[in-house]
Chain A
């Protein structure tokens, strides 16, 4: 059971335990996506408000499920862990602001390219999440580079609401992968005999 790859997975799952509880984050992402859809005038505002109670209940139920099924872990006392997840968002916000301030309209989406770059860099650096990050990063990059708004632009993915929606969709894929990784590492197994006790 404890080969090198298994120990590496144990380390990763223990260090990032709370981030891998994907079912708890999905309702939050769903609500942000609804809010962005409302901001784009695709749905009515009442739907965003009406979704709060069931989504909040789903998030709480997921947290309780994880606690009962997998136990609890207090994260390591380091501040650098959270920053890893903030950098892509921060970089995209800065890129979006820079493009907006400069008044540039390009046929490609700078925001999408920054997000996909972060996802692809993550795929190289964070091996346990590589499949999910590739699944997110490659389509983002392809869509960002296709001039969907015509040769003069602007690219639809450069609209704030749309790139936030794309970010939510990508994060949802990552959360589901995290959940599956957690399940795989902490799956119920037939009770092992104690050796060396």
Chain B
């Protein structure tokens, strides 16, 4: 049986990174959001946000849709079904980890 600290290594690092966790958490709360909203939410520069989104898109966590509103280009991002499942699993793992860390004792079996 592994301790809570060994389990930390098993967390999904793609989602757990703070900016990406903020992005996926926000996208899980809406149908879709545009690039500007996510930029304001995370405080990332355009380039850095693009890099994070590209990583998430490559992993199938988010889908990016570029469209035009009149002559203005808009970039909309949404969480995919796979992304929603991965995020739910991540939160579940974090919850379990928190629970185990609260009851963990360095000398012996978990505290009751």
* B partners with A: yes
Interface string of A60-103 (1 = CB under 8 A from B): 00000000011111111100000000000000000000000000
Q: Which residues of B contact A15 (CB under 8 A)?
A: 29-30
Return B71 CB to nearest CB of chain A, in Å.
15
Closest to B75 in A: A71
Residue of B nearest to A15 (CB): B29
A135 within 8 A of B: no
Knowing A2-B21, A192-B44, A195-B19, say if A71 contacts B39 (CB, 8 Å). Answer: yes
Q: Mark A179-197, 1 if CB is under 8 A from B, else 0.
A: 0000001111111111111
Please tell me if B36 contacts chain A, counting CB pairs below 8 Å.
yes
Interface residues of A, dominant DSSP? loop
8 Å CB interface, B1-40 against A: 13, 17-22, 25-40
The answer to whether the Cβ of B41 comes within 8 Å of any Cβ in the partner chain is yes
B29 touches A1 (CB 8 A): no
In the docked arrangement, what's the CA distance between A1 and B18, Å?
7
Question: Is B52 within 8 A of A197, CB to CB?
Answer: yes
Which residues of the other chain, A, contact B74 by a CB distance below 8 angstroms? Answer: 72
List residues of chain B with CB under 8 Å of any chain A CB: 13, 17-22, 25-45, 47-48, 51-52, 55, 74, 76
Q: Could you pull out 12 A-B pairs where Cβ atoms are within 8 angstroms?
A: A1-B22, A6-B22, A7-B22, A10-B22, A14-B33, A70-B37, A71-B37, A71-B39, A74-B30, A74-B76, A76-B29, A195-B18
Residues of A with Cβ closer than 8 Å to B? 1-2, 6-7, 10-15, 17, 69-77, 185-197
